[in-house]
Amino acid sequence: MNSFDARNCPTDQASREALASRGLEYRVMVGDERADFRKAVMRGFLDGEPTAAALAEADGQPDSRSIGVFDGSAVQPLPVATVKSWVTPLTVPGGELPMWAISAVTVAATHRRRGIARAMLEGELRAAKAEGLAMAGLTVTEATIYGRYGFASAAPVSTVKISAKLAGWRAPEPAARILFVDREQLASDLGELHERTRADRIGDIAGWNRRWQQHAGLDAGAENPEKIRGVRAVDAAGETVGSMAYRLVEGADYRRHTLSVRHLVAATPDARAALWKFAIEHDLVETIEAYNQPIDDPLPWQVSDANMVEQRVSEHGWLRILDVPAALEARRFEGGFGVRIAVTDPLGIADGSWTVAQLGADGVRVEPLADGAEADVTLDVGALSAAYLGAVRLETLQAAGRVTGSADKIRALSDALRARAFPHLSIVY
């Protein structure tokens, strides 16, 4: 579905000029500069110097655009700021939408708080909009950074901590069998299953090989890769229907290991149950921990004591609508409705007023509001982005002061936005 290629997208002129006025060069990095880009990103994320082996590894997303900001007065040749973007399918209710994914946002500690990140972020959003993209997305290191650019948490996740012995498996015996696989097979299973099931997870995006190799401990920077184990779930027909990468960490004594799930993906509820049961009943394991899990996981309903499955909800997938009509028309809506909305946008990218009306079974038609017509519902672009996948009701955002207008119309639009499944972005990017 990717008819857009971020590599062909020129840098944003306004950001180029803003940074040039401060003596900084803002440009795409290509070819041999890949190593310098990686070094700057690792420094920005507080990692160590990459080894030669790490630098020799293939890029994460092969079709990404890497931008560096250069300070001619810097002693080192590395960029003082970085950002990377690519176009990926985003699963939305009833379909998918090409999304401008943003990653590797770093500003060197020597150049912080001079507006470099702002220039880069605004540049990404304007460039994506100019390319015709309706949505941008990212995952964050800190939840405080991106709201100012119109992003909002739209696909939260839960961090799960299970007291394995006390929780106890109670649900029926899953039919899928669990088999060990080596780490190469593990990476391959994770990638294949992710793609096979991605359309079922609202809010998820396409994966890439390096992500699966990292989960399987096959990347050059992996810590204690020999401790990483992999299993697959196999159904009665012999098909691989689930995969889990995990690590066992010894606790206070040998009988109290923690089974730390690095990634778990399943094509069927039975496969998911089989993988969790395997973890919960693992000998010598006291605790299981897992990150980026779906909030509506059936797991608490499958154990004897649901209180032994702690779920801590946090933000994870952030979205930023760039084009309101295109974004809304790309997803399914529930029920019949008609609402006039006004969207505000501090960056002037997606603001405007429209009539949003049901079209046929589950689509909508979005048309500009006639001059002088009053909107029923007014909300900022972040609020609409937060509600876009159905993770939060507009009434909640109204109570938070992010949405105003007619209570009936807010409820009607909120009902229409709800999705048949809770969003789940299963990876970090």
Ligand X SMILES: CC(C)(COP(=O)(O)OP(=O)(O)OC[C@H]1O[C@@H](n2cnc3c(N)ncnc32)[C@H](O)[C@@H]1OP(=O)(O)O)[C@@H](O)C(=O)NCCC(=O)NCCS
- Find the binder of ligand X among 140, 171, 220, 369 (CB under 6 A): 140
Contact mark string toward ligand X, 39..58, x via CB under 6 A: -----xx-------------
The residue behind tokens 């997803």 is: 331
Query: What is the spatial distance between Cα 136 and Cα 4, in angstroms, rounded to a whole number?
Result: 13
- Find the binder of ligand X among 16, 118, 332, 418 (CB under 6 A): 118
Complex with ligand X: residue 83 or 397, whichever CB lies closer:
83
Q: How far is the CB of 81 from ligand X (least distance, A)?
A: 7
- Strands across the sheet with 309-321, in order? 24-28, 65-71, 81-92, 95-107, 135-138, 309-321, 152-163, 285-293, 257-266, 240-249, 228-234, 177-181
Query: What is the spatial distance between Cα 108 and Cα 246, in angstroms, rounded to a whole number?
Result: 33
- Find the binder of ligand X among 15, 66, 91, 106 (CB under 6 A): 106
- Sign of the alpha-carbon dihedral angle for 23, 100, 140, 394: positive
Stretch that binds ligand X, among 63-71, 93-101, 122-130, 143-151 (CB under 6 A): 143-151
- Which residues sit opposite 311 in a β-bridge? 160
Stretch that binds ligand X, among 135-143, 259-267, 311-319, 333-341 (CB under 6 A): 135-143
> What letter represents residue 120's amino acid?
M
Is 116 among the residues that bind ligand X (CB under 6 A)?
A: yes
Is 346 among the residues that bind ligand X (CB under 6 A)?
A: no
Query: For 113-215, where are the alpha helices, taking DSSP H only?
Result: 116-130, 164-167, 183-197, 209-215
Closest CA relative to residue 293, chosen from 277, 275, 313, 308 = 313
Is 115 among the residues that bind ligand X (CB under 6 A)?
A: yes
Using alpha carbons, list the distances in angstroms from residue 85 to 45, 191, 203, 237.
Answer: 17, 21, 17, 40
Is 148 among the residues that bind ligand X (CB under 6 A)?
A: yes
- Find the binder of ligand X among 110, 113, 172, 361 (CB under 6 A): 113
Q: How far is the CB of 347 from ligand X (least distance, A)?
A: 11
* Footprint of ligand X on 189-218 (CB under 6 A): none
Is 74 among the residues that bind ligand X (CB under 6 A)?
A: no
How many Cβ atoms from other residues are within 10 Å of residue 1's Cβ? Answer: 11
- Find the binder of ligand X among 80, 105, 135, 233 (CB under 6 A): 105
Stretch that binds ligand X, among 31-39, 136-144, 183-191, 271-279 (CB under 6 A): 136-144
Query: What is the spatial distance between Cα 294 and Cα 423, in angstroms, rounded to a whole number?
Result: 8
Query: What is the spatial distance between Cα 155 and Cα 134, in angstroms, rounded to a whole number?
Result: 17
Stretch that binds ligand X, among 108-116, 181-189, 228-236, 243-251 (CB under 6 A): 108-116
Stretch that binds ligand X, among 101-109, 213-221, 286-294, 414-422 (CB under 6 A): 101-109
Binding-residue total with ligand X (CB under 6 A): 18
Complex with ligand X: residue 137 or 294, whichever CB lies closer:
137
Residues that bind ligand X (CB under 6 A): 44-45, 105-107, 112-118, 140-142, 144-145, 148
